[in-house]
């Protein structure tokens, strides 16, 4: 490791970790584990929408978010909500209920500006 920088060593470690992740057998991971991780990642996305709502609320200037963008994401969340309900996938419908509600709130805040 003589001439390697710290960044190079971390890059190598990250690359090795990715190779390991792709080699692991995903069928060994339980369905419940995937479901729990899916809920966590989905709720993280909803937290980001909440952060955007706050940013729009406290900023008095006109929003830079287009209605096409806002309604496009609302449509996307609504579709995945229906998909989750139709196929009884808790992680999918649960996080998309939150996303639809929050995205609707974001649209409301932007329209009130």
CATH of the domain at 42: 1.20.1280.290
How many domains is the chain partitioned into structurally?
1
pLDDT of residue 2: 56
pLDDT of residue 76: 97
Per the structure, the complete domain to which residue 103 belongs is given by 29-112
**Residue 76 burial by CB count (10 A; 0-12/13-18/19+): exposed, middle or buried?**
middle
In a domain, 42, yes or no: yes
pLDDT of residue 85: 98
CA pair distance 23, 27, nearest whole angstrom? 12
pLDDT of residue 30: 87
In a domain, 12, yes or no: no
pLDDT of residue 23: 67
Residue ranges, the chain, pLDDT below 70: 1-4, 18, 21-24
């Amino acid at each position: 490791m003589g001439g390697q920088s710290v960044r190079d060593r971390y890059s190598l470690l990250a690359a090795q970790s990715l190779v390991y992740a792709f080699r692991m057998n995903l069928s060994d991971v339980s369905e419940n584990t995937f479901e729990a991780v899916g809920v966590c990642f989905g709720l993280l996305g909803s937290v980001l929408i909440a952060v955007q709502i706050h940013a729009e609320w406290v900023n008095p200037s006109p929003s830079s978010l287009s209605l096409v963008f806002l309604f496009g994401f609302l449509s996307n969340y609504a579709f995945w909500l229906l998909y989750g309900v139709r196929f009884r996938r808790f992680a999918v419908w649960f996080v998309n209920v939150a996303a639809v509600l929050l995205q609707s709130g974001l649209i409301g805040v932007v329209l009130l500006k």
